[in-house]
Amino acid sequence: MGKGTLVAKLRERVSCLGLTVSATTREPREGETDGVSYYFLDDAEFDRRVAAGEFLEWAWVHAHRYGTLRSEVERVLAGGESVVLEIDVQGGLAVRSVMPDAVLVFVEPPSMAELERRLRGRGTEDEEQVGLRLDNAAAEMAHAADYDVRIVNDDLERACRELEDVIHTYEMDGGPSEDVRDQARD
């Protein structure tokens, strides 16, 4: 069970949370839909959007580019929801620098062995990608201490309850504040 499952469960339980659709240059996996899973962009289109300032943040992750579009954040906020970004550590820290009120939750696997088991079990990545993703996960762990909260993703039910507590502690269940709306537009 990965971060996506955890966030989906959280959204079933807590209203007022909206997910953005990120843009990426990686190829779609089987079953992924453009505009739903991601906006799948080629390099030239990604470059164009970077140059046009359309990203709140973007980063190289596992040898591809991924980024959060400002328009997506605005779409969720316009719907009166608080924004959940499921992004890597570089992205998380970049968002914090432009949105200091952002709450950074580090979702960590129970162990590297378990992460490897999950990655292989999913069967969506080739050997090179599995190796890359494991190396990157180890590097990301070094930033866990920079985050506001750490949650170990071993038991879905417990991890989800901890995330709910975070939402209530930071009072994110009443929708976003005006400050956050302004920052997304800058």
Q: Which residues bind ligand 5GP (CB under 6 A)?
A: 22, 26, 57, 59, 61-62, 66-68, 87-88, 90-91
Measured from the CB atom, the residue of 90 and 177 that comes closer to ligand 5GP is 90
Measured from the CB atom, the residue of 68 and 176 that comes closer to ligand 5GP is 68
Q: How far is CA 116 from CA 15, 76, 141, 184, in A?
A: 33, 33, 15, 36
What minimum distance in Å lies between the beta carbon of 167 and ligand 5GP? 20
Residue nearest to ligand 5GP (CB): 91
Question: Other C-beta atoms within 10 Å of 100: how many?
Answer: 9
Question: What 3-state DSSP class applies to 78?
Answer: helix
Measured from the CB atom, the residue of 57 and 162 that comes closer to ligand 5GP is 57
DSSP 37: T
What minimum distance in Å lies between the beta carbon of 174 and ligand 5GP? 25
What minimum distance in Å lies between the beta carbon of 30 and ligand 5GP? 13
Measured from the CB atom, the residue of 69 and 172 that comes closer to ligand 5GP is 69
The answer to whether the beta carbons of residues 22 and 68 sit under 8 Å apart is yes
What minimum distance in Å lies between the beta carbon of 186 and ligand 5GP? 18
The answer to whether the beta carbons of residues 105 and 163 sit under 8 Å apart is yes
What minimum distance in Å lies between the beta carbon of 125 and ligand 5GP? 8
Measured from the CB atom, the residue of 13 and 122 that comes closer to ligand 5GP is 122
Beta bridge partners of 39: 23
What minimum distance in Å lies between the beta carbon of 68 and ligand 5GP? 4
As a whole number of Å, the end-to-end CA separation of the chain is 36
Question: What 3-state DSSP class applies to 17?
Answer: strand
Measured from the CB atom, the residue of 61 and 172 that comes closer to ligand 5GP is 61
Backbone phi, psi, residue 133, to 5°? -65, -35
- The owner of tokens 């080739």 is 126
